[in-house]
Amino acid sequence: MSVTALPRSTTRRTRLPAGSLGIGVATLWLSIIVLLPLAAVVARSFDDGLSGFWDAATSRQALAALRFTLIVSLLAAAINAAMGTLLAWVLVRDRFRGKGLVNALIDLPFALPTIVAGLTLMALYGPTSPFGINIAFTQFAVLLALLFVTMPFVVRAVQPVLIELDREMEQAALSLGASNATVFWKIILPNLVPALLSGAALAFARAVGEFGSVVLISGNIPFDTQVSSVFAFKQIESDNPVGAAVVSTVLLAISLLVLLGIRGLGRWGARHDR
Amino acid sequence: MIVERRWRIGLRTVALAYFLALLLLPVGLVFYRTFEHGVGYVIDSVTTPAAISAFWLTIEVTAIAVPLNAVVGILAAIALARSDFRGKALLNGLLDLPFAISPVVIGLSLVLLYGRTGWLGPWLADNGIRIIFSVPGIVLATIFVSLPFVVREVTPVLREIGDEQEQAAATLGAGAWTTFRRITFPAIRWGLAYGIVLSVARAVGEFGAVSVVSGRVAGETMTLTLLVQQRFENFELAGAYAASALLAVIALLTLVAMTRINPRREEEHET
Amino acid sequence: MILVRGVDKRFGTFQALDDISLEVPDGSLTALLGPSGSGKSTLLRVIAGLEAPDSGTVEIHGSDATNVPPQRRGIGFVFQHYAAFKHMTVRDNVAFGLTVRKRPKQEIRSKVDELLSIVGLAGYQDRYPNQLSGGQRQRMALARALAVEPSVLLLDEPFGALDAKVRAELREWLRNLHERVHVTTVLVTHDQEEAMSVADRIVVMNDGRIEQVGHPRELYDNPANQFVMGFLGPVSRLGERLVRPHDIAVDTAPADGAVQALVTRVVHLGFEVRVELRIDGEESVGVQITRDDAERLDLAPGEIVWVRPPHHERALDVA
């Protein structure tokens, strides 16, 4: 699923009634379903005032969770940026039996419920692993879960760009004496970077908020494998909604920043197009 | 680039090994584990009263959330593709939010709005309406998370095909609804279908947000995904696997639908 | 010199090149001319090393290049759609081949500036390809190809994507450049006018085979077969022979060996005038005469005239 930046507008002021109806309905819907609840979270996080917010946000446990969350999410996004590009490359440029199947299955993490994802990883890499690998309740397990759920992002972001890439640019570079490696690093990759970064940013945003796949396999050990989303969940369970709201507001801010970044990336990426 | 054979094989191996170890093997293992004890056991496991009511609750919630989001999605897509208005970029951005927000945050936001101590809490209590810890809460959470899919799929299609056909219909005397029914809708069919399939997958699979708002009352507010977690926590591993396998099958069916719809959708894009 | 021997190339069931053998002399500007699907682009790419032939050899300047990758053949290649590195500036585009060869920065800089002034893009160093017109992008592509001082310059329908006026300008400009720089150049085109005006040698191709090789004039005046004749210029059929419309003599008075004809249409196209005739009730025959002749003869539809075909050397028997 890609987040698109709007192209320069070529539409006219709406004449069709559906247009205005659409605007009205969409705005209303979004407000009720999305904006109002989110506003409640942000507002309630300040129930104890600014200092209360600050204290909750910077408590040792909250900070530890946030730090771990950000690092492991960044790592997952980075690894999947590389592996995703590789997978996209193989899916676009290579030919082998079963390629169609692999291509379809790439979307599995999108389609599979996160709790099932967590369970499947536990099955293979947890205490009941048939290969004897038990990494459950470790930080690595969290990384693994995040790698799973964010795998499709970069693949699907890079694939269309690779498909559209002007092969003649590569051939021109070859004719000018460039080695294959040079062609990849200097011609192909620079053209993939905007899509790659967009996909990685989305992967990062998803990873930061990921809950279902992490909740089982991480063991939620405070100061060790606890991520912010699970921390917030525990706060809700311990009847501390304000504390949860504070963490949520921080996560929300991160999400918004990433989304803005992706929009900017979209514009930056299109700067050389014509 | 003319890649040498051994490089190509090497890259392919690394990519497929990653894919295998991360995706294929775990999922395959779950299916294996599920049917390890025989198909009969599995069937028993997914037909317990708890499982059946969880299944139907999931279906019910999905059946409410997805059509609503589809209708709003189509209207929003028309607005985005066919008109210019102040705040268009903002609307567009807001539509991306459900993709980027943690499900726990989503659940909490609903609790803080509709819950006992939420903004609307007192008013709802006065009127005897229960949202949190009840099905409506689950529906709202599901609507939130599956909101953007249809609008994101239909908008580019509408943009690509342009509104000339609709204008032609208008000159021939067709009203708004007729134009939509006979001109616009057939043109967006496959993009819409794709968006709906994605929404369904998301709705069925939602866990985090539902976890927060549900209260997990068996038979009432327990969805299939919550059932998986409960069984796991009760050490009913086989039962958890069985429910997971059911969800995985639904996910695979989703993928099949996506694969089938994709080529048609791409054709639609190119008209 | 480029020597191609016995080259075959198949794409699936489509035979793109069928036993092609060709010699391209040093310093010449040779055009590969033919319709779509004739194999001309494929042949060019085989010479470049961008396609590998199924059989046969390619020799460039005396050494066997058949298994040499395109990076090392010492060629310059220009594509129809420019293949500009859109993420790099004009300067970086043109410098690319030199950067790859790790030349010193100063040398690269001055060479790029020199080339850009040769191609008329001085001052455009810091622009991006998407800020240039089609013609400018193609000139940049040429500068880029020339920067590495190739021994062979290959151009694949380089002006095909440009509009008529720019095309004509660039054609002339290419010819002048060739006079200055004298690199062995092979140009692929489907436009016979382009081939005739730019090249010193033309290789006419059809269906994966070479039909004829020679100087433009030779091909025009002495085509080896019907295809070449028809491709290089207008053809009229007189009985069992094919002749050039402007080689047919028209007069209002009978003459030796002349045949009677009925004027059906007269079209004035500025300098030339086309007269359509019917001979013996047969299909239309087109004749081309100058404006002066047209004025002198004062033809109108319905008149009877006398036409004399050219000598045998200027005619081709219908196969």
State pLDDT tens for residues A122-176: 888 888 888 888 888 899 999 999 999 999 999 999 999 999 898 999 999 999 9
What residue in B sits closest to A183 (Cα-Cα)?
Answer: B1
Instruction: Indicate left, alpha or beta for A209 from its phi (over 0: left) and psi (-120 to 50: alpha).
Output: alpha
Instruction: Tell me how far apart the alpha carbons of residues C196 and C194 are, in angstroms, rounded to a whole number.
Output: 5
B151: nearest CA in chain A?
Answer: A26
CA angle, corner B149, sides to B145 and B154, nearest 5?
155
Q: Taking Cα atoms as reference points, which of A21, C292, A255, A40 lies closest to residue B101?
A: A255
Asked if A16 is an interface residue toward chain C (Cβ–Cβ < 8 A), one would say no
Report which of A202, A260, A262 is spatially closest to residue A81, judged by C-alpha positions.
A202
The stretch C271-279 carries a mean pLDDT of 85
Cβ-Cβ contacts under 8 Å for A233 (sequence gap 6 or more):
A211, A215, A244, B104, B208, B211, B212
Contact criterion met (CB < 8 Å) for B98 and A116? no
Closest CA to C21 of C4, C1, C2, C45: C4
| pLDDT score of A12 | 44
Find which of C87, C132, C138 to mutate to test the A interface (most A CBs within 10 Å of its CB): C87
Domain ranges within chain A, ordered by starting residue? 17-46, 49-273
- 8 A C-beta contact, residue A265 and residue A198: yes
Which chains would you list as touching C if contact means 3+ CB atom pairs under 8 Å? A
Q: Which two tokens stand for residue A90?
A: 């193989």
Quick check: C100 and A272 CB within 8 A? no
* Residue in A closest to B255 by C-alpha: A104
- Using pLDDT thresholds of 50, 70 and 90, give the confidence band for residue A18: low
Contacts for A170 with CB less than 8 Å, ≥ 6 apart: A183, A187, A188, B1
CB contact under 8 A, B26 and A96: no
Task: Answer with the residue of higher pLDDT: A12 or C226.
Answer: C226
pLDDT value at A81 more than 90: yes
CB atoms within 10 A of CB B86: 8
Strand order in the sheet with C272-278: C249-251, C304-308, C259-269, C272-278, C284-290
Query: Quick one: average pLDDT of C101-124?
Result: 92
Token code pair at residue C315 = 């005619």
H/E run at residue B18: helix B5-19
Q: What is the pLDDT of residue A6?
A: 47
Rounded Cα–Cα distance for residues C201 and B129 (Å)? 90
CATH assignment of A49-273, among 3.10.580.10, 1.10.3720.10, 2.40.50.140, 3.30.110.40: 1.10.3720.10
What pLDDT does residue A11 have?
45
CA distance A117 to A216: 10
Question: Which residues touch C83 (CB under 8 Å, ≥6 apart)?
Answer: A166, A168, A169, A171, A172, C141
- Pick the closest to residue A207 from A86, A74, A113 (CA basis): A74
Helix (H, G, I), strand (E, B) or coil at A216: helix
**C70 interfaces chain A, CB cutoff of 8 Å:** yes
C71 CB neighbours in chain A (<8 A) are: 174-175, 177-179
Q: Which of C50, C81, C100 sits opposite A178 (nearest CB)?
A: C100
Chain center to CA of C122: 29
Is C130's CB within 8 Å of A274's CB? yes
Q: For the purposes of burial, counting CB atoms within 10 Å of the CB of B253, is it exposed (0-12), middle (13-18) or buried (19 or more)? A: middle
Nearest beta carbon to residue A166 from set C83, C97, C144: C83
CB of A274 less than 8 A from some CB of C:
yes
Q: Cα–Cα distance between C84 and C82 in angstroms, integer?
A: 5
Among B102, B194, B252, pick the best mutation site for testing chain A contact (most A Cβ within 10 A). Answer: B102
Q: Does B174 touch chain A (CB under 8 A)?
A: no
Q: Is B244 exposed, middle or buried (0-12, 13-18, 19+ CB in 10 A)?
A: buried
Sheet of C14-24, strands arranged across: C14-24, C2-11, C55-60, C63-64
| Interface contact B22, partner A, CB < 8 A | yes
- Distance, CA of C102 to CA of C109 (rounded, Å): 13
Q: Which residue has the higher pLDDT, B115 or B4?
A: B115
Distance from CA of C122 to the nearest CA of A (A): 21
- Which of C54, C47, C44, C93 is CA-nearest to residue C70? C47
Q: Is the pLDDT of residue B101 over 90?
A: yes
Is A176 touching C (CB cutoff 8 A)?
Answer: yes
Average pLDDT over residues B103-125: 91
* A178 in Cβ contact with C96 (< 8 Å): yes
CB B158, CB B81: distance < 8 Å: yes
| Contact flag A37-B110 (C-beta cutoff 8 Å) | yes
| A171 neighbourhood in chain C, CB within 8 Å | 50, 70, 77, 79, 83
pLDDT for B2 equals: 64
Scored b (16 or more CB within 10 A) or e, A204-241 reads: bbbbbbbbbbbbbbbbbeeeebbbbbbbbbbbbeeeeb
Tell me how far apart the alpha carbons of residues B2 and B104 are, in angstroms, rounded to a whole number: 48
| B248 touching chain A per CB within 8 A | yes
The reply to whether residue A272 touches residue C128, judged by beta carbons under 8 angstroms, is yes
Return the closest-CA partner of residue A136 out of A121, A146, A149. A121
- Does C27 touch chain A if contact means CB atoms closer than 8 Å? no
Q: Contacts of residue C145 in chain A, CB cutoff 8 Å?
A: 175-176
Q: Which of B1, B211, B212 shows the shortest C-beta gap to A180? A: B1
| Cβ–Cβ gap A177/C129 under 8 Å | no
Interface touch C87/A190, C-beta < 8 Å: yes
Rg of chain B (C-alpha set): 22
The answer to whether the Cβ–Cβ distance between B3 and A30 falls below 8 Å is no
Q: What is the pLDDT of residues B3-59, one digit of tens each?
A: 778 888 999 999 999 999 988 888 888 888 888 878 888 888 888 988 999 999 999
- Low-confidence winner among B107-121, B132-146, C302-316 (lowest mean pLDDT): C302-316
* pLDDT on residue C246: 86
pTM listed for this prediction? 0.82
If contacts are CB pairs under 8 Å, which of residues 134-173 in chain B contact chain A?
140, 143-144, 147, 149, 151-152, 156, 163, 166
Q: Which amino acid does the sequence have at A230?
A: V
- As a whole number of angstroms, the distance between CA C166 and CA A151 comes to 49
Chain C, nearest residue to A193 by Cα: C87
Burial status of residue B212 (CB atoms within 10 A of its CB: 0-12, 13-18, 19 or more): buried
B95-108: buried (b, 16+ CB within 10 Å) or exposed (e) per residue? bbbbbbbbbbbbbb
Give which of A66, A112, A237 to mutate to test B binding, by max B Cβ within 10 Å: A112
Nearest Cα to A171, choosing from C27, B94, C80, B104?
C80
Distances (CA, A) of B35 to B32, B38, C314: 5, 5, 86
| Helices within chain C (DSSP H only) | 40-48, 90-100, 105-118, 134-147, 164-181, 192-198, 216-221, 226-232, 291-297
In sequence order, what are the beta bridge partners of C273? Answer: C268, C289
pLDDT digits (tens, 9 = 90+) for B151-183: 999 998 888 887 788 888 878 777 778 888 888
Model pLDDT for residues C117-126, shown as the tens digit of each residue:
989 899 999 9
Tokens read off for C140:
């940049």
The answer to whether residue B210 neighbours chain A at the CB level (below 8 Å) is: no
Give the per-residue pLDDT at A185: 93
Residue C317, pLDDT > 80, answer no
Residue of chain A nearest B24, judged by CA positions: A105
Largest CA distance in chain A: 68
Instruction: Give C-chain residues touching A272 at CB under 8 angstroms.
Output: 86-87, 128-130
What is the sign, positive or negative, of the torsion defined by CA atoms of C12, C15, C21, C23?
negative
A58–chain C Cβ distance below 8 A for any pair? no
Residue A90 has a pLDDT of 94
Tell me if B22 sits within 8 A of A147, measured CB to CB.
yes
User: Tens of pLDDT along C195-224?
Assistant: 999 999 999 999 999 999 999 999 998 889
- The tokens for A234 are 């525990």
| Contact list, B151 vs chain A (CB under 8 Å) | 26
Angle, vertex CA B109, rays to CA B105 and CA B113, nearest 5: 170
Chain A contact probe: residue of C42, C45, C72, C96 with most A CBs at under 10 A: C96
Does A15 lie at the interface with C, CB-CB under 8 angstroms?
A: no
The stretch C146-154 carries a mean pLDDT of 91
Mean pLDDT, range A21-42, rounded to an integer:
88
In CATH terms, the fold of domain B38-270 is MetI-like fold (1.10.3720)
Residues 136-175 of C with CB under 8 A from A: 141, 144-145, 147-148, 154
Return the domain boundaries, chain B. Answer: 1-36, 38-270
Q: At what angle do helices C134-147 and A167-175 cross, to 10 degrees?
A: 30
The alpha-carbon gap from B10 to the nearest alpha carbon of chain A, in Å, equals 10
For A270, the closest chain C residue by CA position comes to: C87
A-chain residue closest to C148, CA distance: A176
List the structure tokens of A211: 């809950």
Strand order in the sheet with C152-156: C75-78, C152-156, C184-189, C29-33, C201-206, C209-214
* Nearest chain A Cα distance for residue C110, angstroms: 18
Alpha helices in A128-240 (DSSP H): 139-164, 167-175, 180-182, 189-209, 212-217, 228-237
Does residue A9 register a pLDDT over 50?
no
The torsion of the CA quartet C87, C93, C98, C101, rounded to 10 degrees, works out to 30
